[in-house]
Structures are given as C-alpha cells and as structure tokens.
Structure 1
Amino acid sequence: MSHASITAFGAYVPQRILSNADLERIVDTSDEWIVQRTGIHERRVASEGEFCSDLCFAAVRDMQARFGSVLTDVDFILVATSTPDTFFPSMSSRVQAEFGIEACGAADIQAACAGFVTALQLANGLLLTGAHRKILVIGAETLTKVTDYTDRTTCILFGDGAGAALLERTQEGAFLGSHVSTTGESGHQLYRSSLSPSILGMPITANGKIIQNGREVYKWAVSQLPKGISAILQRYGYTAADLDWFVPHSANMRIIDSVCDKTGIPIEKTLSSIAEYGNTSAASIPLALDLAMKDGRIKPGDLVLLYGFGGGLTEAGLLMRWTL
C-alpha cells in the first residue's frame, strides 16, 4: 500500500488590512466587543480586482519559493472554496492553466469551512489507490466579496486568504486517521443566499451574501465537535494529552475555548489564524499552520489534529504527523 505525506506548503493573504477600528466606522460595533466575542483583531481584504484564483496562484507561488516545488508532474489538483471567481471553469482548472501542468485532473471541493481538511482526506485517498502520485491541495476564499456589511453580527467575522499543500506518495505515511460527520438538517443556520428556495426555509434572495444564525451555529459547534474529536482520538488509540497541536477551523475563539475545555486539549496547544485574519473558511486551517511554521512552533514529527467545521453543517477531522 502506498503512503502519503505533505511535502511542501505555502500561503497568501491580501495586503489590505480591515481592522476592528475600521469596522467601527462602518457599523455599530467596537474593538472591545469584537475581540471579546470573537478573538478577531483584523482581517485581510482582497482588492477590487483580486479574486479567489489570484489568491490560489499566490499561495502556490509562495510554496514554490519556500520549498522549490516542481509542479510539472502533479497529477491532480483540488481546490476547496465557497467563493470561486466562476463556478466553471473551476478554480482548480485555473490553477492547472496558470502553472502549465499537463496530464492533470482538476476539481473544486465545496465543503465550506471543512473544505481544506475534506480536500486533504480526498487527496490522501486518491494517493492510496496508487492511481495518483502527486496532488496539489488548496484552500482559498474571498469571503469579503460575499459579506453583508450592513449586518453587524456577520461582517465583523470574515476575511480573505489562501493556503496550498503538496501531497505525495512516500514510504511512510503521515496521515493516521480521519473523521467526518454532517448535520444537513441544520444547514439553514449558515448559508450563502441564492435564487433557489429550500425545504429548510432559506429565503429566496439574489444578493449572494452570507447569512448566519450565530447563536445556533455556536450551539451546534460546541456540542458536536467534542464528540467528533473524542471519536477520532479513541478510534486510533490516542488521547488529548498525546496531541502536540490542535488546529480547528478559526471560526471564533469562544468556540475554540469551549471545545478545548470540553475535550481536555490545552488552549496552549491550539493553532489559530483568527486574531490576524478572521474567519477565512477553507483557508483558515492552512493559514494557522503557516503562521506556526513561520514562528517555529510546529515541527516535523508533531502529532497534529486538523478539524474543519461549518456550513453544511459539516465536520472533517484529520489526525496526522507533521512532516515539514
């Protein structure tokens, strides 16, 4: 059986910073309230002419610059995003074209905030079949383009960014186990509006903005995530004390604090990108890993639990050994 590991990594965030002070001038809010409720200090905003594909390209170029990655033999590309420039052509096909990769499959993954971990799980499965040898996985979002800046409860949350990981077949695998769960009956608590009505009661709108019932999403997350985390650790013979790092989706520090308290994972062992970049959905986990790589916190051999959760409502956990 073949094995898979992450062999290179890159990230990118736009230059423009949207601080809490900036938001105070847009809606009725305050820096103190935002930090207390979410843990966010600032977030990045893509420029008017900067889109999801541009963020993908920049994250891959960062990976090439840092690791000297060769992409000509990549045989599949997976991009996790809820904010593509276009639904087709896909962002993955745009990446293929940008870097001139031949004989390569391409698909976008729409699993919202669980997207990056879901894409890693799928890439690992493709590598384990033996049909593929090298897969590029990207999580990228331009959420500020679909944020309603008249809604003070959601506009404080979202930012833009991207992260890229290269997965290859290796002699010893880094992926130890995974967990997935979906609570689709509660999907109407967090959604991007569209023209289509739903049996769940989502209103018909045409503005394409994010709509969230924050209270209900919080209740779901703090009740469901501890169950999933305990399940994956028990299934593969580990405990919370064995983890070197826990990397949840950076949705809200109150959620992360509650989950850590319920699972026994020390908050000091948690990696997050929430303070610097806000909630970047599919990009939040790779951005948190990137911050930890740059300041030397995460090291080769560390036992890491990635855990994405959000719109759907979906969960995706991945237990792995860090290899970079």
Structure 2
Amino acid sequence: MDGREAYLLSIGTALPGDPVDNAQLAKALGVSEEWIEVFIGTRTRHFARDFATGEVRWSLADLCAAAAERAVAAAGVDAASIDFVVMGTATPDALMPATVNMVADQLGLDQIPTYQLQSGCAGAVQALDLARTLVTSTGGTGLVIGGDVCSKHLDLRRDLTAAAPSELVNYVLFGDGAGAVLLGPEPTGEAVALRRVLNRVTGLGRKPGQVIEWFGMADRDSGKQAINEDYKAIEESVPAMAEEILWELLDELGWSADELDYLLPPQLSGTMTAKINSRLNLPGAVEVSCVADTGNNGNALPFLQTELLLKQMTSGQKALAVAVESSKWLKAGFALEKL
C-alpha cells in the first residue's frame, strides 16, 4: 500500500424528526415507562415514520444523503472530488436498487464505484475497513456512510399486549438515523488518522443472537417476527466480546490502556453500555456514548459517537471504538488519532 495512510477529513449526521421520549412510547405501546428506563436505559429515540400516524417521512436514502451532504460541506470540497462511496446498513429501502445508489443520485454523483454492505452494528466499521483499503491502495477520497431505519419493521399501531418479550424489546430499543465521513489520503480538515480497523466474524457454529427477517410476497403472512433478539445471549456475550476487541486493538496498535484518551463503547442500549464500560474498566478514558438519546440506530451509531468525539479531541489524543454485532457474532472496532 506504499506506506499510505487514511484520514478522517469531516463528518456529518442526520436524525429524523423530534425525539420520542419514554412517556410517549410507553403510552403508545401499553408498557411501563419505568421498565423502559430501567431495563433498556434509553431516554429518547428518533423515528423516520410519524409516531402518531405511521406515515413514512424519511427514507433511509434521505437520511444518508442528508448526513453525506453535511460531511461534504464540512470538508469544504465539491462532491465531484469523491472517488467512491461505501455504505453499511441492515435496513435498505429496497433489495434493488441498492440504497447506496439512491443516495449517490441525491448527491449528484455518477460514474464512480459504489458499494453497499449488508450488516448490523458492525456494518459502519466494515464500510470504514473497505474504504480505508481503497484510500490506501488508490489514493482516492471516499464517502463512507452508515445508517438504518429500524422503524420500518415495527408497527406502532399494533396491539402488543400479548407480544413476546423478544419482540417487545425491539419497540423500545431501536431508533433511526444516519452518519457519514469523508476519508482521504491526506490529513486535511479534521486531520484525524484512522490507525486501525478490526472486522471479523467469530460465530462459527453459534446460533445467531439477532435475526431480522425479509418477507417476500409468498411468505409475508407467515406469522414470523420481523425482528427476533436473544437478549439473554447478547447480555452474556457482548461484554466479553467488547473486552476482547479492546485488547486486541490495543495490542495491534502497540498502545497501552493508559495512552487511551477516549473510548467509544458498543451502543446496544444505555443499560448494556454501562455494563460494558464497567467491565472494560478504563477510568483514564473518557466515554463517548449517545445511545441513551438516539436509541439504537444501528450503523449510524459509530458516526454519531465520532461526531461527539471530534468536538472534544485535541492534537495528540487517541480514541478507540468498539462495536459488536450479535447477528452472527461479529467483532469490530477502529482506532483514531488526532494529529
């Protein structure tokens, strides 16, 4: 790769509509507000559908394009300088055309390579991994996007009094949103080096911890849950996996735990994030979290965290992000250093 590096030049994010708090959600779903606050630990979330009517107000492409436009504007460059687009999502607007191409269309991009990666919480990191490889091998500048619209799977007008806990939890856990960064070969703009990316599947022989179904015309009335979480397995496995990711990245980087200024932990929920932070035990690193206010909006989260990070980060400081995907047990993470 000719010794090239990849640098984060700018960032942009997008959250749809006004935040929906626990009181609103509890009333609509017929569940306890206290249960949401204690079990999930999330205060608010944003939905791309109107909370009262279910009307779609933003598509995933809309949110991703808005985040990308903000990233491009923050970098002070013309969209024509973008050489490729990589996007990670678990909830595309359609199977075809790929949502990344609808985003490119909204941005006025044409005649460049586009890539869409289908993944959950690790998808944004996978997109960074691919983009970093493209930047360091070609010297090009890439737009990296992560986003999800989880509310498309959740019928907020449905009677949930008899819903299984594995289904009900998804109504209070998830939100919608998008984020984007520009990645390039020179340290301009934010001048933050992307030092390392970890991206690995570790679920050989293991039952998935999360399943999101796709319903075609032939099976849409099958009665299957759209989203199914094995929350017990997730609670048991994710903290240990997060710890493994942390120390593996530190070892690869040659950084000591004491050198770490910021930690961007997994963002499944406010309660789970607190448990993970307790296990990681890095009192010298400032936690950068947002899930309690944004809900779990999947592939948007690493970029929402990074946006908060960049408002605090100063020259010479180091940050490490950890992400775990429970679908088929994926380890992911990345390291940033401010120049």
Settle same-fold status: TM greater than 0.5. Answer: yes
The separation in 2 between residues aligned to 1:152 and 1:97, in whole angstroms, is 36
Given residue 169 of structure 2, which amino acid in structure 1 is its aligned partner? T
8 Å CA contact 2:16, 2:46 repeated in 1: yes
Q: What's the CA shift for 1:270?
A: 1.3
Q: For residues 267 and 211 of structure 1, what CA distance do their matches in structure 2 show?
A: 37
Q: Which residue of 1 aligns with 2:197?
A: 178
User: Counterpart of 1:199?
Assistant: none
- Over 3 Å counting, the alpha-carbon distance change for 1:191 and 1:241 in structure 2 is same
Q: Does 1:55 align with 2:71?
A: no
Q: Deviations over 1:8-49 (max 9, x none)?
A: 110110013221111211334333322222221010000313
Q: In structure 2, how many angstroms separate the alpha carbons of the residues matched to 1:207 and 1:91?
A: 25
Name the structure 2 match of 1:190. 210
Query: d(CA) in 1 for partners of 2:316 and 2:297?
Result: 27
Partner Cα distance (1:134, 1:147) in 2 = 37
In structure 2, what is the equivalent of residue 283 of structure 1?
A: 300
Measured after TM superposition, the shift of residue 177 of structure 1 is 2.2
Counterparts of 1:76-115 in structure 2, within 5 Å, are: 76-115=84-123
CA contact (8 A) 2:128 2:197 kept: no
Question: Residues of 1 paired with 2:170 and 2:306: CA distance?
Answer: 25
SS at the partner of 1:129?
helix
Q: Deviations over 1:94-148 (max 9, x none)?
A: 1222222233100111121011111111111111112x51110011110111136
Deviations 1:190-244 (A, max 9, x none): 0102359xxxxxxx94767221111111111012221121111122211222111
Query: Which SS does the other structure have where 2:180 is aligned?
Result: strand
1:152 Cα deviation from its structure 2 partner: 2.5
**1:152-179 CA distances to partner (integer Å, 9 max, x unpaired)?**
2221100001101000112698122232
Match of 1:162 in 2: 178
Match of 1:248 among 265, 275, 278: 265
Say if 1:134 and 1:65 are closer, same or farther in 2 by CA, change over 3 A.
Answer: closer
The letter for the 2-side match of 1:9 is I
Q: In structure 2, what residue type is equivalent to 1:235?
A: E
1:141–1:280 Cα contact (<8 Å) kept: yes
Alpha-carbon spacing, 1:108–1:322, altered in 2? closer, same or farther (3 Å): farther
Q: How many residues align?
A: 313
Instruction: State the Cα distance separating 1:268 from its structure 2 match.
Output: 6.4
Question: Does structure 2 retain, via aligned residues, the 8 Å contact 1:240–1:264?
Answer: no
Residue 318 of structure 2 aligns with which residue?
303
Find the residue that maps to 2:105 and give its secondary structure. helix
Aligned counterparts of 1:148 and 1:211: Cα–Cα separation in 2: 15
Match of 1:201 in 2: none
**Counterpart amino acid of residue 29 in structure 1:** V
**Equivalent residue runs for 1:95-244 within 5 Å:** 95-130=103-138, 132-147=139-154, 149=156, 150=160, 151-170=167-186, 174-184=193-203, 185-194=205-214, 205=222, 209-244=226-261
Relative to structure 1, is the Cα distance of residues 188 and 242 closer, same or farther in structure 2, using a 3 angstrom cutoff? same
- Specify the SS of the correspondent of 1:16: coil
Percentage of pairs with the same residue: 25
SS for the counterpart of 2:79 is coil
TM-score (norm 2): 0.85
Whichever residue aligns with residue 41 of structure 2, its letter is: G
Structure 2: gaps spanning 5 or more residues: 50-55, 161-166
Distance change >3 Å, CA 37–CA 3, structure 1 → 2: same
1:115–1:308: 8 Å Cα contact kept in structure 2?
no
Cα offsets for 1:234-281 (capped at 9, x unmatched):
222112221111112311233322322232223961111111111011
The one-letter code matched in structure 2 to 1:227 is E
Note if contact 1:5-1:169 (Cα within 8 Å) is conserved in structure 2: yes
Task: Find out whether 1:22 has 2:30 as its counterpart.
Answer: no
Q: CA deviation at 1:76?
A: 1.0
Q: Does 1:312 align with 2:321?
A: no
